[in-house]
Structure 1
């Protein structure tokens, strides 16, 4: 993304009162940092990377070495996308990923980091209401020793209700188990044992309507 100097000057004026800094660097990095900061304080965001789900590009999506069917993707920006889960732990369990294949969280660019979390925030808020939940679990397994089996950064989003797990922390063990199963089942050339593509497509279609 390239911004004209005049556009940057306008954005600096918008965000300078928010960050309360004597000087704001006119740079791509500080622009997105300010957007993230403003969002955390409940202000309107001006990210030009975010697009409506109905404008998702027709290109293929990948999740590590795996190809993802477009029918499974229900929300997309120029930097991130959200897809339904092959083997969800709870209703509404979805994944938000950077579009670029990035193995570790630290390898994301500032733009990707900001967009990923803004996307997760938006998705989580809508799915919590849709599933009549009262809380959210957002989890990242960053690296093999943390339980990551697909080498592509992704955020697990799970709408939560009282009593959905006997002990609340059990959900993290369950995520770890599902992560291992996911890596074994993701190849589209293999048979799906838990959910068919049609089932996942129907769920994704329902979620797309939330962002239309």
Structure 2
């Protein structure tokens, strides 16, 4: 454990929800996953827009996403990965902190493949409407997320 909490926009993410980190990025389990293995990768520095990342942060963020995605694809016996960034409010970003959604994909997980983007948008909007995270945490408890993070942590050793 490096620190007790990580910053995700205006929110504090408990270290038990974080399963991988570098000097510049971290990966955490999702409060409201769309599919098994749906996680987020974020820069450690609070950066609202993708264009505001440094070259080093951009590189580290994508290398982290590549490593995490690869391990989760194998772990969840998926055949593909969706990497998605909503960069700015009009793009559906509800937490003002750059983050990459990583979703392990299998054939037939959505009737039409691109429906995944609509589903991400709906989940983000639901979260924005209910930004009382204590209320949201009843959907997935810290213990449940910590257990998932622990499982993923072992994949990245």
| Separation of aligned partners in 2, 1:121 and 1:208 | 15
CA RMSD in angstroms, aligned pairs only:
1.4
- Aligned counterpart for 1:100 among listed residues 39, 45, 50: 45
User: In 2 relative to 1, CA 186–100 (structure 1 residues): closer, same or farther, beyond 3 Å?
Assistant: farther
Q: Deviations over 1:117-156 (max 9, x none)?
A: 0000000000000000000000000000000010000000
| Separation of aligned partners in 2, 1:187 and 1:101 | 20
Number of the residue aligned with 1:146? 91
Secondary structure of 1:164 counterpart:
coil
Offset of 1:190 from its aligned partner? Answer: 3.9
| Separation of aligned partners in 2, 1:182 and 1:138 | 20
Offset of 1:195 from its aligned partner? Answer: 1.0
User: In 2 relative to 1, CA 152–82 (structure 1 residues): closer, same or farther, beyond 3 Å?
Assistant: same
Number of the residue aligned with 2:75? 130
Q: Deviations over 1:16-73 (max 9, x none)?
A: xxxxxxxxxxxxxxxxxxxxxxxxxxxxxxxxxxxxxxxx522520100000011100
Number of the residue aligned with 1:40? none
The reply to whether residue 211 of structure 1 matches residue 152 of structure 2 is no
User: In 2 relative to 1, CA 185–77 (structure 1 residues): closer, same or farther, beyond 3 Å?
Assistant: farther
User: In 2 relative to 1, CA 59–130 (structure 1 residues): closer, same or farther, beyond 3 Å?
Assistant: same
TM-score scaled by length of structure 1: 0.71
Number of the residue aligned with 1:91? 36
TM-score scaled by length of structure 2: 0.95
| Separation of aligned partners in 2, 1:182 and 1:157 | 18
Offset of 1:192 from its aligned partner? Answer: 1.9
| Separation of aligned partners in 1, 2:2 and 2:126 | 29
Number of the residue aligned with 1:173? 118
Secondary structure of 1:91 counterpart:
coil
Number of the residue aligned with 1:37? none
Query: 8 Å contact 2:4–2:14 — kept in the other structure?
Result: no
| Residues 67-78 of structure 1 mapped to structure 2, 5 A cutoff | 67-78=12-23
Unaligned runs of 5+ in 2: none
| Separation of aligned partners in 2, 1:173 and 1:191 | 20
Higher relative contact order (CA 8 A, sep 6+): 2
Secondary structure of 2:7 counterpart:
strand
**Structure 1 or 2: more strand by fraction:** 2
